Amino acid sequence: MLFKPDYTAADVTPEHLFLNRRQLIAGAAALAAGPALAAGPYSTDETPNTYEAITSYNNYYEFGYDKTDPAQYAGALTTDPWSIKVDGLVDNPGTYALADLIGDMPIEERIYRFRCVEAWSMIIPWQGFQLSALLNKLGVQAGAKYVSFETLVRPSEMRGQNGGSIQWPYREGLRLDEAMHPLAFMATGLYGKPLPNQSGAPIRLVVPWKYGFKSAKALVRISLTETQPVTTWNTLAANEYGFYANVNPEVDHPRWSQATERRVGGGLFAGRIDTQMFNGYGDQVASLYSGQDLTKDY
Ligand code: MTE
């Protein structure tokens, strides 16, 4: 299908430019709209990728198939006003203006590893809130077992929606216990600035222990369901992209190895790095999958 393995060095940042980046982020976050809490126990202390790298090398098929298409074309998207429909097994269903839905969420910073199924990775400083906070506010009803996410369909502003093999909207989903995990995050900002369009403005999901395709951008619908949601990549090629999509170096993609990855911006001479089980978040999330065979539930 559309994904290809990643074996080239796409961008290069001199090592000295990495220095003090964390301090820069802390400063930028302090200036961001609303109080951003300091990076807490959920953040990595690895050096984040540059803002430029994070916003110029993207997957966002609504705008095209090339990594540079989102940066080039996503500026056309109107992200205000924005509304999100909430439905299914929830106490407070409805169609909410974004500010009414999330205006009271506590904004914090999370510096997460991000690992694409194509075997490249980045370190990204997000701002946003825990998905669990929103779900608790909405009131998840007994019987709900999954959360499904749908993203925007607007071909007039999303040029990639006028053709191609993906059936829009882009869909993703999580099991309810995954969605309630403190690492599952809703991002509204990047580097202390509002989320840029190519990164999923105005709001996207970020699930750092799963392959990047789970982290759906431009969310417009959240549904609490009893049955496992239909998801875009699983529908396109079920043998290549499972519903769980947990980062797992021991389960190769049918067309490439998942044992290693290329850290974007690592420099011309940097080697590949080992991919970690659950993208390095195993201590926190492995218990979600106890008793499951992850070679089958891939
Ligand atoms: N969300 C939408 N709506 N459309 C997409 O094509 N691509 C996914 C995910 N979310 C995608 C999406 C994939 S394949 C990846 S790897 C990540 O977004 C990329 O996120 P980034 O561009 O912010 O790094």
Output the residue whose Cα is nearest ligand 1's atom 3.
Answer: 217
Q: Which of 8-22, 175-189, 207-221, 282-296 has the lowest mean pLDDT?
A: 8-22
In sequence order, the 6+-apart residues with CB closer than 8 A to the CB of 293 are none
116 lines ligand 1 (CB under 6 A): yes
CA 39 to centroid of ligand 1, rounded, Å = 24
**Which backbone phi and psi does 109 adopt, to 5 degrees?**
-100, 140
216 lines ligand 1 (CB under 6 A): yes
Gap between the Cα atoms of 180 and 130, Å rounded: 8
pLDDT category of residue 268 using cuts at 50, 70 and 90: confident
pLDDT above 70: residue 12: no
In sequence order, the 6+-apart residues with CB closer than 8 A to the CB of 182 are 42, 130, 132, 284
62 lines ligand 1 (CB under 6 A): yes
Domains of the chain: residue spans and CATH: 9-289 (3.90.420.10)
β-pairing, 185-190 vs 120-130, is antiparallel
pTM of the complete model beyond 0.85 = yes
The residue ranking higher by pLDDT, 41 or 127, is 127
What pLDDT shows up at residue 39? 53
CA 178 to centroid of ligand 1, rounded, Å = 19
The residue ranking higher by pLDDT, 24 or 53, is 53
Gap between the Cα atoms of 121 and 113, Å rounded: 7
β-pairing, 260-263 vs 120-130, is parallel
